[in-house]
Amino acid sequence: MSQPYTITTAISYPNGRPHIGHAYEVIATDAIARFQRMMGRDVFFQTGTDEHGLKMAQTARNRGIEPRELADEMSSYFKQMNDSLNISYDRFIRTSEPDHHRASQAIWRAMEANGDLYLGRYEGWYSVRDEAFYDEKEITDGEGGVKLSPQGTPVEWTVEESWFFRLSKYQDKLLNLYNSQPDFIRPESRRNEILRFVEGGLSDLSISRTSFDWGVKVPGADGHVMYVWVDALTNYITGCGYPDDAERMARYWAEGGDITHIIGKDIVRFHTVYWPAFLMSAKLPLPKQVFGHGFLLNRGEKMSKSVGNVADPMELAERFGVDQLRYFLLSEVTFGNDGSYSAEAIVQRSNSDLGNAFGNLAQRTLSFIAKNLEGRLPAINGHDAADTELFALIDKVVRSDMPGAMADLAPSVAIDAWLRAAFACNQYIDAQAPWSLRKTDPQRMETVLATLYIAIAQLAVAIQPVIPASATALLDHMGVPADKRSYGAIGDHWYSDLAESDFGLAAPKPLFPRLELTEADA
């Protein structure tokens, strides 16, 4: 059995409804999780909501409700979004769940047992929006005397009795980690940022609060709740069975385990400085990789509630289609860079790539088979050079380029390769012109159709992680059995085995109906 694979998204603050940035993160992570499952890996994929902290408490107070009510309401929208976007999570975790409180208290005790916690008094800058403490040297002056964090969010001076974590003790250990595991932080630009930050020296971290009580209780310290990031980061191991389920931990959170966190670029510091330090202190295994993806911008501009340009992913999915949205986000944005979305860009990409390049190809080929061969699979009557060339390309794309790119967390590179192969199929069909062969050389016509059938089905197999519902519908329609739908299954005999089963291939319904813009999109 191959090594298990653990992958997580960040857990979102349910202080409002999900936006397109949240959708982007789960879609990308879902594609990678689906890819790893297709490679035969035992995958654990977790996502969820981060429900404690001051931001949640304040939002609830402003609405005149309890934080728990706010969390229940908003968390359900996140879960719904995941379900409608076809996200194949294994667990949707809510940090208000009892097993998560147990895990957070257990990691706290383990850090305490290691001598890394002490009681003190915090005086410094805090940003509620980021739920983050900042050093004096990081603060700048904003308009009207407001002090700002490096993220541009307002900070307030906070004075409180607090537990501290000896983060300063971990500076060298963290630098060793980054040096010995250069891929621990990706992409490179984020790694450099963090290296500079840690090399600049680390202050101890305030990790409990006394001014409110919406959080995980600090064991043995009445009146203290944990700083929200301590419990938030712990969500990853709660889902892996910490602290009680040793067997599950050995499977999904083991020393040297294949564990990846997918998060946005704004929270890389928490995941690559605080989190590994907490884990080292608690003597727990570290993740293998933290990938900080870029931000999605609305037509190149930052989304903000006040500007009113925050896109609702559910509306986009309803209007353009779930797979169309998934395909757009994964193909348009190079993973790690920022990217822009707009209705025009979604429509354009969906129509050109999914509709014209791939959908029409499948439609033309399968309708032709249905009509001229009474739905039976075409026979192969010896290949010529054009067939062999197309097979070689499909084989390389499907068995090497795409899996290589997906394993490297580069979905847009995988999609580029896929699209190139679809273009090659279109050139092949035009050059071979099976419609002219019908009268002149029906045997050759069958070979051409068989070649196309194989190419299309294998491209559908390979694109499943990106557009699961459409790829599945096409494979169902083409009669490809479940055990032939993985990268590993593709190879010799793939078609000859298939051709032995009964077929009743009918003309398919269009997979990707043409999308239109409306005046409101201009």
Q: Is cis: bond before 243, omega within 30 of 0? A: yes
Question: Helix (H) and strand (E) counts for the chain?
Answer: 21, 16
Q: Least distance (Å) from ligand ME8 to the CB of residue 26?
A: 9
Toward ligand ME8, which CB reaches closer, 306 or 496? Answer: 306
Toward ligand ME8, which CB reaches closer, 19 or 349? Answer: 19
For 218-276, the DSSP string reads PTT-TT-EE-HHHHHHHHHHHTTTTTT-HHHHHHHS-TT-EEEEEEEGGGHHIIIIIHH
Query: CA gyration radius for the chain?
Result: 26
Q: Which residues form the interface with ligand ME8 (CB under 6 A)?
A: 10-13, 21-22, 24-25, 50, 232-233, 235, 263-264, 266-267, 295-296, 303
Q: Least distance (Å) from ligand ME8 to the CB of residue 21?
A: 2
Toward ligand ME8, which CB reaches closer, 241 or 313? Answer: 313
Toward ligand ME8, which CB reaches closer, 74 or 449? Answer: 74
Residue carrying the six token digits 């929006």: 129
CB 125 within 8 A of CB 147: yes
Toward ligand ME8, which CB reaches closer, 4 or 264? Answer: 264
CB 263 within 8 A of CB 293: yes
* 53, 326, 428, 481, 485 from 505: Cα distances, Å: 56, 28, 22, 14, 18
Toward ligand ME8, which CB reaches closer, 268 or 459? Answer: 268
Of 64, 105, 109, nearest in space to 225 by CA: 105
Q: Least distance (Å) from ligand ME8 to the CB of residue 397?
A: 28
Q: Least distance (Å) from ligand ME8 to the CB of residue 48?
A: 9
Measured distance between the N- and C-terminal CA atoms of the chain, rounded to whole angstroms: 53
Task: Give me the half-sphere count of Cα atoms (radius 13 Å) on the Cβ side of residue 163.
Answer: 24
Query: How many whole angstroms separate alpha carbon 295 and alpha carbon 154?
Result: 20
Toward ligand ME8, which CB reaches closer, 291 or 453? Answer: 291
What tokens does 512 get? 């990707």
Q: Least distance (Å) from ligand ME8 to the CB of residue 365?
A: 38
Toward ligand ME8, which CB reaches closer, 226 or 456? Answer: 226
Q: Least distance (Å) from ligand ME8 to the CB of residue 310?
A: 9
CB 172 within 8 A of CB 127: no
Q: Least distance (Å) from ligand ME8 to the CB of residue 207?
A: 14
* 37, 76, 196, 356, 414 from 42: Cα distances, Å: 7, 27, 36, 36, 22
Q: Least distance (Å) from ligand ME8 to the CB of residue 295?
A: 4
Q: Least distance (Å) from ligand ME8 to the CB of residue 486?
A: 30
Query: How many whole angstroms separate alpha carbon 239 and alpha carbon 5?
Result: 13
Toward ligand ME8, which CB reaches closer, 121 or 302? Answer: 302
Q: Least distance (Å) from ligand ME8 to the CB of residue 261?
A: 8
Toward ligand ME8, which CB reaches closer, 181 or 304? Answer: 304
- State which amino acid sits at residue 460: A
Q: Least distance (Å) from ligand ME8 to the CB of residue 262?
A: 8
For 10-44, the DSSP string reads EEEPTTS---HHHHHHHHHHHHHHHHHHHTT--EE
CB 288 within 8 A of CB 259: yes
Q: Which residue sits closest to ligand ME8, CB atoms considered?
A: 264
**157 has which bridge partners?**
125
Toward ligand ME8, which CB reaches closer, 21 or 434? Answer: 21
For 209-226, the DSSP string reads ESS---SPBPTT-TT-EE
Query: How many whole angstroms separate alpha carbon 193 and alpha carbon 238?
Result: 29
CB 359 within 8 A of CB 510: yes
Q: Least distance (Å) from ligand ME8 to the CB of residue 399?
A: 32
What tokens does 314 get? 């559910």
Q: Least distance (Å) from ligand ME8 to the CB of residue 349?
A: 18
Q: What is the dihedral of CA 464, 466, 472, 475, to 10 degrees?
A: -50
Toward ligand ME8, which CB reaches closer, 16 or 182? Answer: 16
| C-alpha torsion sign, points 311, 313, 314, 316 | positive
Toward ligand ME8, which CB reaches closer, 295 or 391? Answer: 295
